[in-house]
Amino acid sequence: MNVKIVFSDIDGTFLTTDHRVTDKTEYAVNRLLNQNIPFVLVSARMPEAIYPITDKLGIKIPIISYSGGLVLTESEEILYSKTIEARLATAIINAIDQRWSQVTINYYSGRRWFVRDVKDKRVKREERITSAAAVNADFNELLEIGMLPNKILTMSEPADCEEMERELSRMFPELNVVRSSDILLEIMDKSVSKATGIKVMLEHYGFASEDALGFGDNYNDIEMFKYVGRGVAMGNAPEPIKKIVRDVTDSNDAGGIYTYLVKNGVIDALDE
């Protein structure tokens, strides 16, 4: 297999269920980098929720944040940034407040995360998982000063998340509304997807889409799977996701990235 660059989702793919990096996954990344094969994390997370992971591993790599809305080089240079225009951000926040007031809204702009209540238990849980820190803010005031969101995220119960995805997609065709888990709904500009971020990164390196391998586990990885030369679903992915890719590997907890790369001869096996 001729792979020139590897892209990977984070939660449910690169990280285990308890948010760790397995020894096999860490080894796989280092082997790729030693072979001058770029490894790029592609996530709905903000940069400040990705860098603690790479810092712990002692690596400097490019990242695609906000599911393609913000693309950074390994030196943290911005290659691409796409925000939601003010009128749409205002409209969708108001729609959520009016119909689903029980959900938690998060407002991400650049490398900052804003919420209405930093003590919200859902916000505290996300802080524990990501190591990023939320800041209290009035969303209308942010919009008035031109601090537009790269992403709006809702945290809710699964039934509300599914309903919001369906209804908000219908109400706001100008926006990309997609679940990244059963409780998280990601909202970006319509032009944004993991595929758009990958396209920017491939152009940066001078690679073609067929040179790329992509690992993922959920619905917001579908565009990535369709765009890269070969998409690989993790063993823990929902069945509908597994059905749209050519290959399925082991679960995230079993080090599925490592398993696939070794099986296909991209890296050597770890001595055990």
The β-bridge partners of 263 are none
Q: pLDDT tier at 220 (50, 70, 90 boundaries)?
A: confident
The β-bridge partners of 108 are 113, 151
Spatial separation of the C-alpha atoms in residues 232 and 244, rounded to whole Å: 10
Q: Burial of 4 by CB count in 10 Å (0-12 exposed, 13-18 middle, 19+ buried)?
A: middle
Mean pLDDT of all residues belonging to the chain: 96
Tokens of 126: 């996300």
Instruction: Find all residues with CB under 8 Å of 147, minimum gap 6, and list them.
Output: 109, 110
pTM of the model: 0.89
Using one digit for the tens of pLDDT, what is the confidence trace for 68-115?
999 999 999 999 999 999 999 999 999 999 999 999 999 999 999 999
Q: pLDDT tier at 127 (50, 70, 90 boundaries)?
A: very high
Q: pLDDT tier at 181 (50, 70, 90 boundaries)?
A: confident
CB 163 within 8 A of CB 171: no
Owner of token pair 């280092």: 30
Region of residue 109 (phi > 0: left; psi between -120 and 50: alpha; otherwise: beta): beta
Residues serving a catalytic function are 9
Spatial separation of the C-alpha atoms in residues 166 and 179, rounded to whole Å: 10
Tokens of 116: 């209405």
Give which of 254, 197, 242 is closest to 216, Cα–Cα: 242
In 110-205, DSSP assigns E strands to 112-115, 135-136, 151-155, 175-179, 184-189
